[in-house]
Structure 1
Amino acid sequence: MEGLSRFLLLAAMGVLLACCAGGSGPSACRPGELNSVYLVDRGWHTEIGVPVAALSGKLAVYREIFPGARTILFGYGKKTFFTAPASSLEEYLIGPFPGPAVVQVFAMTTTPDLAYDPDAVVVLPVSREGMGRLSDFIGDDLETGRDGRPRLVAAGHGPESLFYAARSRYTLFHTCNGWVVQALREAGLPVSADGVVFAGQVMARGARAAAMLCRKTAP
């Protein structure tokens, strides 16, 4: 039992720390807004920001849900942790176990690079086709209700934040940071998913990808 308890504690700490590491600074070049996605360090996990005008497929509904929004941040996490943060050691210990997941949708009236500390945001250039694949990836993971729209499960801490049921399940091998890397890769970005655990890993890989892509597009 002592060994199992130690494993569970380390696993819980790993998942929490996975979303705590800092960013790696902004990218050196700035693509046009409609050709940009934003990798954002939100303190305890990473999220991906998409310009509202670039949303397509199932995600186009968010132009109606959040009129006036300029960017939508999408984040992934275990339902019980994401919608009601843990407040005791016991809750942290059971946190890493598999369970239903949600996608948080957070509307912004600006872009993340203007709203957050520069070290917490990486701007990445994405093609129009990549934007379409990114929207499809996120949209396909949103469970839909009888009305065909994403199924709302909880409100966030303000009217700009909503939680929607995810089709996939949260596990130790499918976490918030792994989901973000999957999304970036679907967009055609050269971000490796190997061994992704910590938020800092995602931010560092995103920064390297941005630097590489900027060099390729430099005159």
Structure 2
Amino acid sequence: MTRGCAVSRRLPVLAALGLLLAGCAGTGRPLACRAVGGTAVYLVDRGWHTEIGVPVAALSGPLAVYRDIFPGARTVLFGYGKKTFFTAPASSVEEYLIGPFPGPAVVQVFAMTTTPDRAYGPDAVVVLPMSRAETDRLSEFIGGDLERGRDGRPRLIAVGHRPESLFYAARSRYTLFHTCNGWVAQALGRAGLPVSDDGVVFAGQVMARGARAAAMMCRPEGP
């Protein structure tokens, strides 16, 4: 579905540059849980890249438009990344080397007819039960980072390999310190969850922090 953000997908280059931070390894498996009250929002591990899955019914404010854009969808995934790497493959060593440098960003919006835990398996997903106020704040954060066109709708800049995968211009810029994973952690924190984006670069950090938050808000799956 996605190729991930520029920093995390180019670990060999970054390691050579000395950018592999000690705190980014060995975070352990995320927690699969059953939501206890509220709406189940999904933190999804896509390898080196994390995304947020929001049930269509919980999309509000600036994100409510996706109910019309994706009729029949059950969950919508939101991911962040550098425009050049998200929407077009790198074709030279030079492009890989400049990947971590600042540049325009995009938000990928991907519609699903199922839930992420069923699509990717519980080991790749943390379920976060959120209140209506929290999902509203999450929608406001994500929607607030979507650049608007003249019609007031999110500005579409590219279509992915499948029609249910769309790329929209982001207001914020991608930097080494504002990556796809930092954006996801920031979104969860702005929603009101106990998830900090401080020092976040890699997916494992986000999944570990999400798992800790989930442990406080839901109980493990089981009989």
TM-score tier by shorter-chain length is 0.7 to 0.9
1:155 aligns with 2:140: no
Pick one of 178, 182, 200 that aligns with 1:178: 182
Structure with greater helix share of residues: 1
| 3-state SS in 2 of match to 1:63 | helix
1:74 aligns with 2:78: yes
Pick one of 30, 36, 49 that aligns with 1:25: 30
Distance 1:174 1:140 in 2: 16
Identity %, equivalent residues: 79
Q: In the superposition, relative to structure 1, how do residues 64 and 208 fare at CA in structure 2: closer, same or farther (>3 Å)?
A: same
Q: In the superposition, relative to structure 1, how do residues 13 and 64 fare at CA in structure 2: closer, same or farther (>3 Å)?
A: farther
**Partner of residue 48, structure 1:** 52
Distance 1:156 1:13 in 2: 33
Aligned residue type for 2:137: R
Aligned residue type for 2:134: G
Unaligned runs of 5+ in 2: 1-11
Per the TM alignment, residue 50 of structure 1 is displaced from its structure 2 partner at its CA by 0.5
Show the 5 A alignment for 1:1-219: 9-10=13-14, 24-31=29-36, 35-214=39-218
Aligned residue type for 2:199: G
Per the TM alignment, residue 20 of structure 1 is displaced from its structure 2 partner at its CA by 11
Distance 1:82 1:128 in 2: 31
Query: After TM superposition, where is structure 1 displaced by more than 2 Å over at least 4 residues in a row?
Result: 8-15, 19-32, 85-89
Unaligned runs of 5+ in 1: 1-7
Per the TM alignment, residue 214 of structure 1 is displaced from its structure 2 partner at its CA by 2.3
Q: RMSD of aligned C-alpha atoms?
A: 2.5
TM-score, scaled to structure 2: 0.84
Q: Does structure 1 retain, via aligned residues, the 8 Å contact 2:127–2:214?
A: yes
TM-score, scaled to structure 1: 0.86
Per the TM alignment, residue 135 of structure 1 is displaced from its structure 2 partner at its CA by 0.3
Distance 1:36 1:192 in 2: 20
| 3-state SS in 2 of match to 1:123 | strand
